Structure 1
Amino acid sequence: MSLGKRIGEARKSKNLTQEALSEKLGVTRQNSKIGR
């Protein structure tokens, strides 16, 4: 399983949106997409 899928599953299990997770991590969604 890829890291992205693992993060997505963990995020969903905590009922977090991508935006909410990025806020907790201190990054913007724009920054998180750069690595893709």
Structure 2
Amino acid sequence: MEKKTIGGFIAALRKVNGMTQKDLAERLNVSDKTVSSFI
């Protein structure tokens, strides 16, 4: 799966669940910059 496709999938799931990139980063115990690099 391409990085662009994975990023889109992650972004869609995050939005459906009402999460910001920061929220997701906190749940994954990574920085928001790390999440941003995938999306």
TM over 0.5: yes
- Higher RCO, 1 vs 2 (CA within 8 Å, ≥6 residues apart): 2
State the identity as a percent: 29
TM-score by length of 2: 0.74
Unaligned runs of 5+ in 2: none
Q: TM-score, normalised by structure 1?
A: 0.80
- List structure 1 segments (4+ residues) > 4 angstroms apart after TM superposition: none
| Structure 1 unaligned blocks of 5 or more | none
Please give the root-mean-square deviation of Cα atoms over the aligned residues, in Å: 2.1
How many residue pairs end up in the alignment?
34
